[in-house]
Amino acid sequence: MLMQMKGVDVRVYDPRGVVRSIEKPTAARKAGLDGLRLGVLDNSKWNANKLLRGSIEALKREIDFEAVNYYVKHSFSKDAAPELIAQIVEENDIVLTAIGDCGSCTSGCLRDAIALEGAGVPTAVIVTTEFVKETVLTREALGMLDLEPVIIAHPVSSITLEEVAQRVAQILTQAQAVWKGEQKGAAAKYLENRRAPD
């Protein structure tokens, strides 16, 4: 915006900026899950292993997977290495990844999920309730607006085994819905329900 002030031109910039991204589609969803290869990407956050291993056992009671492959990235605040993403894509049909329960790890998990989805692998990315807004902003900034997260209760890092089991139950139904394309608008609904009344 250009303004004049006592004969002097003053240019005022909007400091908020604009998010510009190219929209990217998610991978084609799966009609059924039996016979698929499940990839599990652990970002090495506290309790991610317990959540993911508990989820594997719960999912195996309902789904007859051809194989379950477990991967660990050793820095939760960074994206998975391109070589690891390529290996996961090659060896799996669907992916479960966790955990987004802080700023940098949520971003890293989402970026991994978007890379996997972009390569054709439906991915259920687990985030906690406190980081749903960041999830929405990150997926918008990266252009994958239809990426649906699996939303579980916060916190995760300091919970009991009973609380781990409660979160596994949340993961069990949502992950299957994400892979099949049945979870629509969960993040937006969650944020709408959390809005403070005017």
Mean pLDDT, the chain cut into blocks of 10 residues (198 residues total):
66 76 96 99 95 99 99 94 99 98 95 98 98 96 97 95 97 99 95 76
pLDDT tens for residues 115-124?
999 999 999 9
Domain residue spans of the chain: 36-191
Give the model's pLDDT for residue 194.
87
Give the model's pLDDT for residue 149.
98
Give the model's pLDDT for residue 1.
55
Question: β-strand 37-42 against 94-100: which pairing, if any?
Answer: parallel
Give the model's pLDDT for residue 196.
60
The pTM (predicted TM-score) of the whole model is 0.89
The CATH code of the domain at 36-191 is: 3.40.50.1700
Give the model's pLDDT for residue 8.
78
Give the model's pLDDT for residue 9.
77
